[in-house]
Amino acid sequence: MPRTSKIAESPPHAVEQALITLGRNIRTARLRRKLARRELAERIGISRYVLADIERGKPTTGIVAYLGALWALGLLSQMDELADPDRDLEGKILEAARSPKTAPKRKAFDDDF
Amino acid sequence: MPRTSKIAESPPHAVEQALITLGRNIRTARLRRKLARRELAERIGISRYVLADIERGKPTTGIVAYLGALWALGLLSQMDELADPDRDLEGKILEAARSPKTAPKRKAFDDDF
DNA sequence: GAGATATGTTTATTTCAATCAACATGTCTA
DNA sequence: TAGACATGTTGATTGAAATAAACATATCTC
């Protein structure tokens, strides 16, 4: 993450914690499967050093490396639930509280690009 | 992700899909809250360009930027469940199937650094 | 004890991710 | 119609992310 962004320099505590937990979970899953770093890293398509970073919860590592790890461990399916609009209670409430005509929309209902 | 890793060059379809979905979900959550890119980006601590990348599901963007977005939207709590060892059914089975003495452990039960 | 394997650490090198400025487009409101 | 705002896009800059080699340490097996 060159030309460093503020969040990379000092992430919020909650984010740091989430990363450490995620890294530890990935490590646990690897050990349970009796996979060496080198081997799992190769399956993911990264170097063993990056996998070490992931297990340590390094913030600036590309998200594709993290998701690749989950994928290689067969744990990627859990991603679908993350930030699922159907589960975003607060967002739903906010949306419902507004009248039909709102926001700076593009065309109609939007969500496309 | 300079000196490009293989997974960054051509991520597995499942990973690409997960990223696109995640980005779309973040976008939906932002729109529901009536936040402009510029404003949410500032709260996260990134530039509006990176937030645009995130909503597009760019693979090589640092994970801290993605998690920062979830954090700023109040959706970070869902992260705890991701790759939770308690939910890793396959891993649990593999572990249980092994005899007490196993893997290349460090000291004793391990999981520490 | 010897050999094999796994991981941590350091150093050096290279490449592209993140930023910013500037301009274009599109939408909403007065 | 004009003005404000949100977003897309392009080009230039720069610094950190990912890699690899080499060595040290620790654990397991024979």
Q: Do B78 and A95 touch (CB under 8 A)?
A: no
Low-confidence stretches of chain A (pLDDT < 70) are 1-3, 91, 95-113
Report pTM.
0.85
Q: Is the CB of A32 under 7 A from strand C?
A: no
Whole-number pLDDT of residue A63: 94
DSSP state of B1: -
CB contact at 8 A, B8 and A62: yes
DSSP state of A78: G
Nearest chain A Cα distance for residue B7, angstroms: 5
> Whole-angstrom Cα distance, residue B74 to residue B41?
14
Residues 6+ apart with CB under 8 A from B27: A111, B55
Two structure tokens written together for A66: 């993290």
Q: Is the CB of A79 under 7 A from strand C?
A: no
Residue B113 in this model has a pLDDT that exceeds 50 = no
Identify which of B31, B62, B75 has the shortest CB distance to residue A59: B62
> Whole-angstrom Cα distance, residue B7 to residue A65?
7
Whole-number pLDDT of residue A87: 85
> Whole-angstrom Cα distance, residue B110 to residue B113?
8
Give the percent of chain B with pLDDT over 70. Answer: 80
Two structure tokens written together for B45: 């601590």
Q: Do B5 and A65 touch (CB under 8 A)?
A: yes
Whole-number pLDDT of residue B99: 44
Output residues with Cβ under 7 Å from nucleic strand D: A 1-4, 8, 45-47, 49-50, 53, 58, 60-62, 65, 104, 113; B 1-6, 8, 36-39, 48-49, 52, 60, 62, 101, 104-107
pLDDT digits (tens, 9 = 90+) for B25-34: 999 999 999 9
* B112 pLDDT tier (thresholds 50, 70, 90): very low
User: How many beta-carbon pairs below 8 A join chains A and B?
Assistant: 205
Two structure tokens written together for A42: 């190769």
Residue B80 in this model has a pLDDT that exceeds 90 = no
CB contact at 8 A, B65 and B43: no
Whole-number pLDDT of residue B2: 61
